Amino acid sequence: MIPITTISLLVIGLLMVHSASTYLSAERHADAFYYFKRQLMWAGIGLLFMFGLSRVDYRIFLKYARSILFFCLVFLALVLVPHVGQVRGGSRAWLGIGTFGIQPSEFAKFGLLIFLSAYLSDEPDRMLSFKRGLVPPLLIMTLFIGLIMLEPDLGQSAVIAGATLLLVFVAGARARHLLSLLAVGLVLFAGLIAAAPYRLMRILSFLDPWKYPRGIGYHIIMSLIAVGRGSFLGQGLGNSTQKFLYLPEPQTDFIFAILTEELGFLGALLTLFLFGVLIWRGLRVAMQARDRFGAYLAAAFTGVIGIQVFINIGVVTGILPVTGITLPFISYGGSSLMLLLSAVGILMSISRTT
């Protein structure tokens, strides 16, 4: 069920990346298939990793969890070094040469969760203590989020924070400890928003995008127009008008708006259904895992998928403020796609041992 659902979402993603990016590809690269061909390449690599990792015993990551964490921290630090990290879309979040690049924060997200799953499974009773159970994971999470926010990337930080809190909850953290942390987290989140004027403006545009139609509210307005045009059955695959430079970068964070415009409410519902099935199966794998490490890892990876889906679609439909986060398996993006497919492969490996 997991591989079938994942490949179904991947096929939808490839179709939508091609449809959403054709005009932009031709304008920027004189090749209508530019983004599609790159996405197809990353999908192929990702599938190789997915099926390869599904045959590997997932407990190997338990052995190398600390090394994985160390290398993720090194890459996160490297991306901040001038002339080493690449600036794209206003964020210094990439390592690479020319148009080829990887996003270390994507690797860090999964590397952190692998380490925390190993740490929390080592001594389950430590979660009864706030100092021994919660403080170490939260300090490490704060270090990762601090480095990512220097890029800056609020979206990835939100996903990491959400997945970490889910993981410590599954590991048995006390409810009162989590509620206290949530209160502190909300205060810190408000501080991050207040510290950067552009983030505050995003909140204002979220509350009333029509007040800023030519500025910060533009993305949300164009996205809502695309969603509204979709109606029940959509305009038909390839027939979006919002992708013609009305909605900036339609193949990435706002691809669900193009999907809804072209495939309608029915297509959007099918996509959400597939995500629901994948998340349900991932949680079942977590509940049936033979050991704590497998259970925590399955819950964390499933949580990442669920949180990203919630944030991305919340932004597209105007429920949440605009923040850059991809829609799993659907949005254009090599690092994200390859690592998500790898995570699914690890889920399949855990499932094989139940």
Q: How far apart are CA 315 and CA 331, in angstroms?
A: 14
Residue 100 has pLDDT above 70, yes or no: no
Residue 248 has pLDDT above 90, yes or no: no
Residue 105 has pLDDT above 60, yes or no: yes
Q: pLDDT-based confidence at 310, cuts 50/70/90?
A: very high
The pLDDT value recorded for residue 195 is 67
Region 320-347: mean pLDDT is 91
The pLDDT value recorded for residue 298 is 96
Q: How many domains are there within the chain?
A: 1
Long-range contacts of 345-348 (CB under 8 A, 24+ apart): 345/49, 345/50, 345/51, 345/52, 345/53, 345/54, 346/53, 346/54, 346/58, 346/61, 346/297, 346/301, 347/2, 347/282, 347/285, 347/298, 347/301, 347/302, 348/2, 348/3, 348/50, 348/53, 348/54
pTM: 0.91
The pLDDT value recorded for residue 316 is 93
For residue 131, CA distances in Å to 67, 137, 139 come to: 24, 10, 11
Contact between 315 and 253 (Cβ < 8 Å): yes
Cis peptide before 152 (omega within 30 of 0): yes
Task: Print the domain residue range for 277.
Answer: 2-352
Q: Which residue has the higher pLDDT, 176 or 149?
A: 149
The pLDDT value recorded for residue 129 is 74
